[in-house]
A and B are shown apart, each in its own frame.
Chain A
Amino acid sequence: MKKYLAVALGILTAIGGFVDIGDLVTNAQVGARFGLSLAWVVVVGVLGICVFAEMSGRVAAVSGRATFDLVRERLGPRLGLLNLLASLLITFLTFVAEIGGVALALQLVASVHLLLIVPLIGLLVWFVLWKAKFSAIENVLGLLGLALIVFAVGLWQLGPDWAALAQQAAAAEKPSDEHWRTFAYYSVALFGAAMTPYEVFFFSSGGVEERWTPEDIPTMRANVFVGFPLGGLLSLAIAGSAWLVLGPSEISVDSLGQVGLPVAAALGKVGLAFAILGFVAATFGAACETGLSVGYSIGQYFGTQWGKYVRPSQAVSFHAVVVLATLAATAFLMTAVDPILVTEVSVVFSAVALPLTYFPILVVANDPDYMGEHVNGRLANGLGSIYLVVIGVASVAALPLMIWTRMGQ
């Protein structure tokens, strides 16, 4: 019974944990402009994150090594360092975006200036990362994040023409007033939002924190293959409701309030309250995950003690990095940079950086010296190779598309 509870809890937190500020903003933007015609990208992205997370989770469970251990072991100190710097930059941008997202969500309630909220959130994130237990962070925020299900309820309440929506999704029918290049740009952005690298750093490092063994592989797989796709369905619900409410009036999404607007239209104040609770939980959870991921990556590259499974006094450099990263992220937001803009940039750069960590994991997941009998099977390698190509193409295309479309205008 206890085991089933653990599996259920893992799946529920994976659903809530899948959605972060990048998914919220990008799906609403895409939904408002393209409807469900880019739904296939969400499907491709969710399957991709499943393949990637399953491999790195399996490697963590069997060998006890997390992502950046393997990056350095396979790529060496020099290439590994470049990889670390690039990945850190993107994780840091995401960290900034998540803290900004929490502040934006609270601003919807409190109506005070954003810059008054940001320092408080920064302080709170640091305090939670310092004091709270790893499982508490993951479970409490993951479960509260389930409030975002209100988007699915909202979509159903809006009573759309389901056949038309399904037709639009299945045929990838680009609205005629949009250009192909923006269609391509937003598909890369949506892919980056679904396959954010920090999710895998956090997932594999979390596996090491919780001391997974090969016996935990089935539980880990259940979390990944059920939790993430359900999270992907939430993403589609956000996009679908945005299309129904914002699409007809040509509203382009550039604030978190607009992301929540479809729910308010469908379900009124109570619905909006749930949506805001979901925003706060999902972005705060992701802020904790990205903040930890900054510390994890640096600790794993240099081999110093990292993690929350030891007391802070035993992992001083790890906690020092987390404090500095939180301070820097807060300071960045205090320059009055728009968190939505940071989010848009971070999802595109996520797509650029993905191959850097994906490739070493794919190689190690095939190495019997690490994995013994748990090396990739045919399915994992078939999908793994296809995604190596897909990720490579998205990575190369991301920046040219960003410049060509002037960020999707």
Chain B
Amino acid sequence: MSGDERRENRLEGRIDGALHLLDRQLVDSEGALLGKVDDVELTQVGTHLAITAVLTGPAALLARIGGRTGSALVEKWAQLKPAEPHRTRPWRIDMEDVDRLDSALHLSVRRDGVLRRDHEGHRLGRLTGMAVRGPDGERVGRVMDARFEPGDDGSLVLCSLMVGHGRPGSLLGYDRRGDQGPWLVRTVVRRLHRHTVIVGAEAAEIAWPESTVRLSELPSEAPDHAFG
């Protein structure tokens, strides 16, 4: 649309799920807007957890409100129309229909009839915010963000988790670069998140029913160079 920067496709590199993918605008092949990335579907493929679809619509969005309010809202959403099957199941767009990611997520197809409600998997919005416990069951913090990189088959697979204290997304990207301004905001964000650590996916076991991530070793590495 404008500028060469926007042509860059972030799906070909390493991305942070909450920072780069969640809540992005969905744009179809003709530039029409069709919703937000209200959540992201994760599927266990072999040993990897891969991004298989983006989820959109109230069923996904209301669950992201989180906690009891979130569950209650999803329930109310279903009760609005009891005759409709699978109303709590969010609409999904398969990653096959996704073209590229820049400041928006661009589809390779037109928006008409692109949404499906055929499958329900794990959600990134559940993973971020999960409690993280160490090998002896001690609380380490919460999942702040999840980092993905392209796997062998081209799909994005989970490579590491950012663990710290606070709301998912509240790192605001200041964990990725040490020089991102303005100084005032960077200093405050880094101070608030000084205990944030990064954990390799192989050291983290995700227990979806209990909403807990259990680590096989205690992490000590700060994400990238920002918290040095």
Contacts and interface: CB of A to CB of B under 8 A. Distances in A.
Interface of A: 61-65, 69, 72-81, 211-214, 299, 302-306, 310, 314, 362-363, 366-370, 372-373, 375-376, 381-382, 384-385, 388-389
Contacts, number: 106
Given A211-B1, A368-B180, A303 B32 contact: no
B183 A367 contact: no
Contacts of A75: 169
A160 B182 CA distance: 44
Nearest to B174: A363
B36 interface: yes
Interface string B32-56: 1111101000000000000000001
Nearest to B36: A303
B203 to A, nearest CB: 26
A73 B38 CA distance: 10
Given A65-B103, A73-B24, A381 B183 contact: yes
B136 to A, nearest CB: 32
A79 to B, nearest CB: 8
Nearest 8 CB-CB pairings of A with B: A213-B2, A303-B36, A63-B103, A372-B5, A381-B182, A303-B35, A305-B33, A385-B184
Given A306-B33, A388-B185, A214 B3 contact: yes
B38 A77 contact: yes
B92 interface: no
B32 A314 contact: yes
A77 B23 CA distance: 7
Interface of B: 1-3, 5-6, 10, 18, 20, 22-26, 32-36, 38, 56, 61, 64-66, 102-104, 167-169, 172-173, 177, 180-185
A310 B24 contact: no
Contact of A64 (B64, B104, B167, B173): B104
Contacts of A303: 25-26, 33-36, 56
A385 B182 contact: yes
A64 B3 CA distance: 10
A314 B180 CA distance: 39
Contacts of B6: 62-64
Contacts of B20: 369
Nearest to B21: A73
Nearest to A386: B184
Nearest to B37: A303
B3 A213 contact: yes
A368 to B, nearest CB: 7
Contacts of B184: 385, 388-389
Contacts of A214: 2-3
B186 to A, nearest CB: 8
A62 B23 contact: no
A369 B173 contact: yes
Q: Which of B10, B103, B167 has the most CB of A within 10 A?
A: B103
A62 B7 CA distance: 11
Contact of A366 (B35, B168, B180): B180
A80 B61 CA distance: 12
A212 B182 contact: no
A376 B182 CA distance: 8
B2 A61 contact: yes
Given A305-B32, A367-B173, 18 more contacts: A62-B6, A65-B103, A76-B18, A76-B168, A77-B65, A211-B1, A214-B2, A299-B33, A303-B25, A303-B34, A304-B33, A362-B185, A363-B172, A363-B185, A369-B20, A372-B5, A382-B182, A385-B182
17 contacts: A62-B5, A63-B6, A65-B25, A69-B25, A72-B36, A74-B172, A76-B18, A77-B61, A212-B2, A213-B2, A302-B61, A303-B26, A305-B34, A306-B33, A372-B3, A373-B5, A388-B185
A367 B104 CA distance: 15
B169 A367 contact: no
Contacts of B180: 366-368
Contacts of A81: 65
A65 B64 contact: no
